[in-house]
Amino acid sequence: MAPRAEPPLTGPVTLGDLTREGKLLWCWCADCGRERDIDPATVPLPASFPVPEVGSRMVCSTCGGRKVRTAPELYPGGIEAQRARFRK
């Protein structure tokens, strides 16, 4: 029997991965619930920086909270585009 192929070893998604794939960086504040998507290229961190750790370097622009979660974009085109689709 042929050995099963191992899944590729992938680390956490980095800011550089998002930029390369044309994806937005999703940010969510656990204090006030504010959600927004930002262009990863505008984040002043190295391209090799892991996306889940970006939030620890961010401060919410609405409430100043530091419990910011970050992830690769959840919705194609960002949360605003997603909301626009439901508004119709």
Which residues sit at the interface with Zn ion, rule CB under 5 A? 29, 31-32, 34, 60, 62-63, 65
Please count the CA atoms within 13 angstroms of the CA of 64 that sit on its side-chain side.
Answer: 0
Closest alpha carbon to 34 in 77, 65, 75 = 65
Nearest residue (CB) to Zn ion, 19 versus 67:
67
User: What amino acid occupies position 70?
Assistant: T
Nearest residue (CB) to Zn ion, 14 versus 29:
29
Minimum gap (Å) between residue 58 Cβ and Zn ion: 10
Cα(30)–Cα(64) distance, integer angstroms: 11
Nearest residue (CB) to Zn ion, 13 versus 79:
79
Torsion of CA 27, 60, 34, 82, to 10 degrees: -40
Minimum gap (Å) between residue 69 Cβ and Zn ion: 11
Minimum gap (Å) between residue 65 Cβ and Zn ion: 4
